[in-house]
Chains A and B, each alone.
Chain A
Amino acid sequence: MWRLSQPALTVGLILAAGAAGQTQEFADADVENGQAIAVGTFEPSPGGACFRCHGMEGAGDGAAGFPRLTDQAYEYMVESLREYASGERPNQIMQPIAAALSEQEMRDVSAYYASLEDAPYPPQTDVEPDVVQQGAILSAIGAPEEGIQACVNCHGPEGIGLPPTYPFIGGQHATYLRQQLELFRQGERQGQNGIMVYIARQMTDEQLEAAVQYFASLRPEGVTPEGESRPVTGAAPPPGIAPIPEDIPGVD
């Protein structure tokens, strides 16, 4: 289902991006040049190519906390590069890399990663279902009595983001999500209007971890994570309920 709708979604995002005033800018971006920057054949890539950390498909690296870039909105990535370059988003690795890129190169490489279809996901980690459930509740309704509004209000259902401003966080690596929330908490990263600083500070450690684990656990429907296999047969039905017959009349 997701696989089928994914191209449609991508088209939707591009249309939305078009509406966001990005048609011209996005269309002017040179995706091939962006790819060259990503692979490091482009001269001014200091310290190397994007793909070494983010992968050619934008899968990132969960172990090292390098974020997935696939599914991410173009404008969000350009803005992030600008903020890394200026130091507004402090990051020892990204700061010199971004600072070495021109505005056009930032656009090109962002356009390249924005053009990619979803990259492979890491296997699900073994997290207590209660924790994921708590994160899902935070995503859906927040914790209003503690002043924490629902993640879904800006990041959309299942963390699909709201281009151009709000990033795609569904399926993002837990390491990266945790690190960003900590940066918000410490005020090192401000985001829009300081909203995430406030939310991250209102969250308990437990809530923060639950939100991280929930978003990290999200997978587009139909994705079989590496190293896992889907159960072939369903669980036994509860007592008193007849099992579903193999052949249902009228169904091929």
Chain B
Amino acid sequence: MAVRMKPVDVALVGGGATAAILGKELAEAGYSVVALERGRMRQTVPDFQSPYMHDELKYSVRHSLMQDPGTQTLTFRNFVGQKALPMRQLGSFLPGTGVGGAMVHWNGQTWRFQPESFVLRSWVNERYGSDFLPEDITIQDWGITYDELEPYYDFFEKICGTSGTAGNLAGQIQEGGNPFEGPRSEPYPNPPMKQAYAGHLFGEAAADLGYTPFPVPSSNVTRHYTNPYGARFQPCMYCGFCEHYGCEHFAKASPQVAILPFAMANENFELRTNAYVQRVEWDRGSKVATGVTYIDARGREVFQPANMVALCAFAHHNVVLMLNSGIGTPYDPSTGEGTVGRNYTYQTMSGATVFYPPDVQLNSFMGAGALGTAIDDFNTGSFDHSELGFVGGAYIAAYTTGGRPINRHPVPDGTPRWGTEWKQAVQRHYNSTATITVHGSSMPHRGNYIGLDPNYTDAFGQPLGMITFDFPHNDRLMSRYVTSKAWEIAEAMGGEQISVSWLDDHYSIVPYQTTHNTGGAIMGTDPTKSVVNKFLQSWDLHNLWVMGSSVFPQNAGYNPTDTVGALAYWAVDHMINDYLQDPRPLVPT
């Protein structure tokens, strides 16, 4: 018999970025909110303190801030018909656990999606024709436009203290910024990071080839800054420990620094840790969510009644929760029907490495997660695809995220994998190697989706989520095209030797690529092809909302966090100012 808690207005599943945003805003609007976080409490002090934080073995190798696959994991296969196997160690992506979620260990790369991304289906049809893409590329419009989202992007960037150079201010292209971005209503709240030498060399080569380099927008904050909530940031020290780590300097925007203290200060908000949500309970007759059931720290099953539920867990986890709760119609790849699990997308990563002579010292240990110089000439809306046969694109960037010795030991092709020669090569190249990243979009394919595994269960006895994913042909073409452009820039950077990392033949769950899992509970205009409407409200249960990158109908060639944050503010605005005053489906069907 489950323990029954006192009812609340809103139950949030998760204690990361979007839960912090919703918790802060809803509590302030007067609603009682409980956020249910499966992990433990974490604060900058004492949990992210130097020198213990700078432990590469503990955090980068053993993934101490991440989900424990021994409790819950996913199974994976490349295509329908293969037997999916459980991911017993984290690899390709690193879902966070604990308060702050993945926004604790993120890098701080804070990109907006281009206006074209939000209306991709219409844009492609209009510009290239409706038969330009094969039918199995199931791109969709989001139901929202860039202009609608812009004020929320702007606000989220102010919350994060994002540092950068605007490239488009109210339609006016700005010197030094990204000319391919959508119009900004205001400049970044903080000036860009000091650019690293590798980025400088990349920028010079790119400019010589006629491209427009600019500093990557960064939520590693560049000066003392107070955000609109009153959170005080301190400047980034370029210590090179962002990704996989918490920030000890109060410099990287994490929920702990930027948002949570202002939710926690409100008595309407409760953050309940060690609460592992199992499912959303809902009434089959009236079609409303009634609360959530979770397992608490003592192993008890607990029911938390709520008038409204928002799924704020990691991307695929929101989808698995819906499937395990029996909400909506599971997507069926054989018919292409059903919505929950549909359009699971990822990111199409490739790159190039430039090996310089020993006198070129790049000091890569002087880094920050979002310290990079980029060009955006090859992203979705930046160039003409009509002769190329694909849609999408990528930004190309030279990042200097840190020189941590376990993970960073670049050696040229042909170097032995171990032994004396390998060590000599590492010593020779460690400080003289620049890395170029091609951060590619991911288009949805009819065969790529999230379902429930028929064989494997988690520690609680529930079916594991099952990911079926491989790179669509469209994305292979995209990756080949943009990677070849990156190669040209690498050639122009004047090194001694270059290696190019082309996209793998098949997606593999093993090597780390990015933690940018997207889709599966997508937003859209058609209830038969999307899970939530343009306000992130479930088509099926009007008091259920889905946050995070789960709602992206397809993934753009950018990091998702800025869009995740903007969408959360967009959604909570409509919850407070419309829905909660008169609960109903905000988009009639």
* Chain A residues with a Cβ under 8 A of chain B: 19-21, 23-24, 140-142, 144, 147, 149-150, 152-154, 156-157, 162, 192-195, 198
With A152-B50, A153-B50, A193-B222 as known contacts, state yes or no: A198 contacts B234, CB within 8 Å: yes
Contact B249 A19 (CB under 8 A): no
Please tell me if B127 contacts chain A, counting CB pairs below 8 Å: no
Q: What residue of chain B has the Cβ atom nearest to residue A162's Cβ?
A: B239
Instruction: Give chain A residues whose Cβ lies under 8 Å from the Cβ of B361.
Output: 21, 23-24
Interface of chain B residues 29 through 72 with chain A (CB within 8 A): 44-46, 49-51
Instruction: Give chain B residues whose Cβ lies under 8 Å from the Cβ of A156.
Output: 50-51
| Assembly CA distance A193 to B234 (angstroms) | 9
- Interface of B, secondary structure class, is loop
Q: What residue of chain A has the Cβ atom nearest to residue B46's Cβ?
A: A141
Contact B403 A144 (CB under 8 A): no
| Assembly CA distance A142 to B248 (angstroms) | 10
Contact A141 B403 (CB under 8 A): no
User: Contact string, B234-247, partner A, CB cutoff 8 A, digits 1/0?
Assistant: 11110100000000
Instruction: Give chain A residues whose Cβ lies under 8 Å from the Cβ of B222.
Output: 193
With A19-B431, A149-B250 as known contacts, state yes or no: A144 contacts B235, CB within 8 Å: no
| Assembly CA distance A144 to B235 (angstroms) | 15
Contact B49 A140 (CB under 8 A): yes
Contact B45 A150 (CB under 8 A): yes
19 more A-B contacts (CB under 8 A) besides A20-B365, A147-B232?
A19-B363, A20-B363, A21-B361, A21-B362, A21-B363, A140-B49, A142-B45, A144-B45, A150-B45, A150-B50, A150-B248, A152-B50, A152-B51, A153-B237, A154-B237, A162-B239, A192-B237, A194-B224, A195-B237
Contact B49 A152 (CB under 8 A): yes
Instruction: Give chain B residues whose Cβ lies under 8 Å from the Cβ of A23.
Output: 361
Please tell me if B505 contacts chain A, counting CB pairs below 8 Å: no
Contact B248 A149 (CB under 8 A): yes
Q: What residue of chain B has the Cβ atom nearest to residue A146's Cβ?
A: B232
Closest A-B pairs by Cβ, 6 of them: A21-B361, A193-B235, A153-B50, A153-B248, A144-B45, A141-B45
| Assembly CA distance A157 to B53 (angstroms) | 12
Instruction: Give chain B residues whose Cβ lies under 8 Å from the Cβ of A149.
Output: 234, 248-250
| Assembly CA distance A182 to B234 (angstroms) | 20
| Assembly CA distance A192 to B223 (angstroms) | 10
B193 to chain A, nearest CB (A): 11
Q: What residue of chain B has the Cβ atom nearest to residue A154's Cβ?
A: B237
User: Contact string, B331-364, partner A, CB cutoff 8 A, digits 1/0?
Assistant: 0000000000000000000000000000101110
A19 to chain B, nearest CB (A): 6
Instruction: Give chain A residues whose Cβ lies under 8 Å from the Cβ of B49.
Output: 140-141, 150, 152-153
Contact B237 A19 (CB under 8 A): no
Q: What residue of chain B has the Cβ atom nearest to residue A144's Cβ?
A: B45
Interface of chain B residues 245 through 264 with chain A (CB within 8 A): 248-250
- Interface of A, secondary structure class, is helix
**Which of B50, B51, B223, B431 lies in contact with A21, CB distance below 8 A?**
B431
| Assembly CA distance A195 to B222 (angstroms) | 10
| Assembly CA distance A37 to B328 (angstroms) | 80
Instruction: Give chain B residues whose Cβ lies under 8 Å from the Cβ of A21.
Output: 361-363, 431
> Which bracket fits the contact residues of B?
20 to 34
Instruction: Give chain B residues whose Cβ lies under 8 Å from the Cβ of A19.
Output: 363, 365, 403, 430-431
B411 to chain A, nearest CB (A): 16
| Assembly CA distance A24 to B359 (angstroms) | 8
Q: What residue of chain A has the Cβ atom nearest to residue B194's Cβ?
A: A193
Contact A153 B46 (CB under 8 A): no
Instruction: Give chain B residues whose Cβ lies under 8 Å from the Cβ of A154.
Output: 50, 237, 239
| Assembly CA distance A153 to B241 (angstroms) | 12
Contact B45 A194 (CB under 8 A): no
| Assembly CA distance A13 to B474 (angstroms) | 50
| Assembly CA distance A198 to B249 (angstroms) | 13
| Assembly CA distance A193 to B50 (angstroms) | 19
B45 to chain A, nearest CB (A): 5
| Assembly CA distance A194 to B224 (angstroms) | 8
| Assembly CA distance A150 to B52 (angstroms) | 12
B443 to chain A, nearest CB (A): 41
**Which of B235, B249, B403 lies in contact with A153, CB distance below 8 A?**
B249
Contact B235 A195 (CB under 8 A): yes
15 contacts between A and B (CB under 8 A): A20-B365, A21-B363, A21-B431, A141-B45, A147-B234, A147-B250, A150-B49, A150-B50, A152-B50, A153-B249, A156-B51, A157-B51, A192-B235, A193-B222, A193-B235
A165 to chain B, nearest CB (A): 8
| Assembly CA distance A193 to B223 (angstroms) | 7
Q: What residue of chain A has the Cβ atom nearest to residue B223's Cβ?
A: A193
**Which of B46, B235, B430 lies in contact with A194, CB distance below 8 A?**
B235
| Assembly CA distance A144 to B431 (angstroms) | 35
Contact B46 A198 (CB under 8 A): no
Q: What residue of chain B has the Cβ atom nearest to residue A140's Cβ?
A: B49
Q: What residue of chain A has the Cβ atom nearest to residue B362's Cβ?
A: A21
User: Contact string, B213-233, partner A, CB cutoff 8 A, digits 1/0?
Assistant: 000000000111000000010
Q: What residue of chain A has the Cβ atom nearest to residue B359's Cβ?
A: A24
Instruction: Give chain A residues whose Cβ lies under 8 Å from the Cβ of B363.
Output: 19-21
| Assembly CA distance A144 to B249 (angstroms) | 10
Instruction: Give chain A residues whose Cβ lies under 8 Å from the Cβ of B224.
Output: 194, 198
Interface of chain B residues 524 through 545 with chain A (CB within 8 A): none
B233 to chain A, nearest CB (A): 10
Instruction: Give chain B residues whose Cβ lies under 8 Å from the Cβ of A142.
Output: 45
**Which of A140, A144, A162 lies in contact with B44, CB distance below 8 A?**
A144
A31 to chain B, nearest CB (A): 21
A197 to chain B, nearest CB (A): 9
| Assembly CA distance A3 to B250 (angstroms) | 35
| Assembly CA distance A21 to B359 (angstroms) | 9
Instruction: Give chain A residues whose Cβ lies under 8 Å from the Cβ of B362.
Output: 21
| Assembly CA distance A206 to B439 (angstroms) | 50
Q: What residue of chain A has the Cβ atom nearest to residue B257's Cβ?
A: A144
Instruction: Give chain A residues whose Cβ lies under 8 Å from the Cβ of B359.
Output: 24
B221 to chain A, nearest CB (A): 10
| Assembly CA distance A156 to B232 (angstroms) | 23
Instruction: Give chain A residues whose Cβ lies under 8 Å from the Cβ of B50.
Output: 150, 152-154, 156
B283 to chain A, nearest CB (A): 44
B287 to chain A, nearest CB (A): 46
Q: What residue of chain B has the Cβ atom nearest to residue A25's Cβ?
A: B361
B70 to chain A, nearest CB (A): 31
Q: Which of B50, B250, B431 has the most CB of A within 10 A?
A: B50
Q: What residue of chain B has the Cβ atom nearest to residue A157's Cβ?
A: B51
User: Contact string, B189-226, partner A, CB cutoff 8 A, digits 1/0?
Assistant: 00000000000000000000000000000000011100
Instruction: Give chain B residues whose Cβ lies under 8 Å from the Cβ of A194.
Output: 223-224, 235
